[in-house]
Amino acid sequence: MAQVALHAYRLVVRKYLPDDFPALQQKYLADWQKPFRSNVKVQYEYQGQQGPSQSLDGTPND
């Protein structure tokens, strides 16, 4: 998702602020490229539902 947003941002800058585009490109290469291209590893554990179930308004489900 971040890649789509960054691509859209680059298109807008290139069209409406063409003189600023080289600075944006340098900023991307220096600061953003590595984090955006890195893989994020997520680990989670599901414990199941705890206690009686409730609806979204907080009332118990029967």
pLDDT of residue 34: 84
Domain assignment present for residue 60? The answer is: no
Element spanning 37, H or E: helix 33-37
- Residue range 53-60: average pLDDT? 61
Domain assignment present for residue 53? The answer is: no
pLDDT band with cut points at 50, 70 and 90 for residue 9: confident
Residue 25's domain comprises 1-48
Domain assignment present for residue 26? The answer is: yes
Rounded to two decimals, the pTM is 0.48
Domain assignment present for residue 54? The answer is: no
pLDDT at 24 exceeding the cut of 70: yes
Domain assignment present for residue 55? The answer is: no
DSSP string over 2-36: HHHHHHHHHHHHHHH-GGGHHHHHHHIIIIIHHHH
Would you say the C-alpha torsion 31, 32, 38, 44 has a positive or negative sign? positive
Mean pLDDT across the chain: 80
> How far is residue 37's CA from residue 47's CA, in Å, rounded to a whole number?
32
Phi/psi of residue 61, nearest 5 degrees? -90, 140
For the chain, the domain total comes to 1
pLDDT of residue 19: 94
Domain assignment present for residue 61? The answer is: no
